[in-house]
Amino acid sequence: MYVCGITPYDATHIGHAATYVLFDTVHRFWRLTGNDVTYVQNVTDIDDPLLERAARDGVDWRGLADFEIQRFRDDMVALRVLPPTHLVGAVESIDLAARRVADLQNAGAAYPVDDDVYFDVTAAVRFGSVSHLSDPDMVGISAERGGDPGRPGKRNPIDPLLWQAPRPGEPSWDSTVGSGRPGWHIECASIALDLLGPGFDLQGGGSDLIFPHHEMSAAQGEALQGWPFARSYVHGPMVGLDGQKMSKSVGNLVFVSALREAGVDPMAIRLALLSQSYREDWSWSDDLLAEGTARLTAWRAALSRPTGPTSTDAVSALVEAVADDINTPAALAVVDQWAREQDLRGGDDPAGPGLMSRAVDGFLGVV
């Protein structure tokens, strides 16, 4: 599994947390059902938003990246997100990405525009099969999400940047394809192919990555090592606040670290996130957090008793819910019902609370 990671220019907000809790649930399920899992996640620790934030605040971009990466790690530990097998920074992968750019040049899948290098999307026969978007939609979304469809000299408006020549005041690295730094998509494609190889099981991230990022990574992967790049794609929802997508530009962010500093139990945050289906966008609210807090209190009370209702069937239902398209709301409802039964009628099974507790811990990551 390859899940696209953060660009460390600000703290982890609830939208980020929802994505990583979603894929943590997949990670846990695979491991607990007997699979060996290699989970790769990147960190885009060199990118325009990071450089812009560092310049705005008058700080070194490397120090800012290190600070925010550590804050992200602290938030993930608090939320009991299992660490990936490999957490790989873009900076440490620059030589790898440069070699892949050279491979694309040698294959005739790349071309120069001034001193930069672009990927020719026509080199990928199956380009478009990830997002299923029309050409006009691709052009529009590319302009919104870091592309440069209007740049003169490009063969196709949506062709993405592979290698950026040095810019004044910005960091660059010497490489086999000259001085500069790689584009966003080839970074992820290179890391995934290096550590997982083509045809890995699952590519994940937020739904805003479907295009251009996952489409372009898959296209570059196809041009480099064949199809498929990933066999399956899972995308997390966009999380809003007050009717708008949570984003830095709007300024409507709810930070995990701020909630923790305010004394919110991270397990209540995790339960609030798990209560929402990953198939639909949703909005964060104080009520949702209050529901998570109440649920956590009820579960802990029920699970702390020495005996309780027999939980074998309930645990099976919990596992089936997670197996059924990561239906975490249904999984939570199973535990709710078991906890209500414990509260109303109790039970005399000494193994009941322990078995349910281990299932809640293992599959849902809640203690």
pLDDT in tens, 233-279: 999 999 999 777 777 767 789 999 999 999 999 999 999 999 999 99
Q: What is the pLDDT of residue 123?
A: 98
* Res 344 pLDDT > 90: yes
pLDDT in tens, 79-112: 999 999 999 999 999 999 999 999 999 999 999 9
pLDDT in tens, 32-52: 999 999 999 999 999 999 999
Residues of the chain with pLDDT > 90, as a percent, come to 97
The CA distance from 237 to 242, in Å, is 16
Lowest mean pLDDT among 32-36, 247-251, 286-290, 304-308: 247-251
Domains of the chain and any CATH numbers: 2-239 (3.40.50.620), 285-364 (1.20.120.640)
Mean pLDDT of the chain: 96
Which of the four pLDDT bands, split at 50, 70 and 90, describes residue 218?
Answer: very high
Pairing status of strand 110-113 against strand 86-89: unpaired
Which of the four pLDDT bands, split at 50, 70 and 90, describes residue 63?
Answer: very high
Looking up tokens 């649930």 gives: 25
pLDDT in tens, 104-139: 999 999 999 999 999 999 999 999 999 999 999 999
The CA distance from 287 to 141, in Å, is 33
Average pLDDT over residues 289-294: 98
DSSP secondary structure letter of residue 13 = B
The CA distance from 318 to 305, in Å, is 20
Q: Mapping DSSP to helix (H, G, I), strand (E, B) and coil, where does residue 278 land?
A: coil
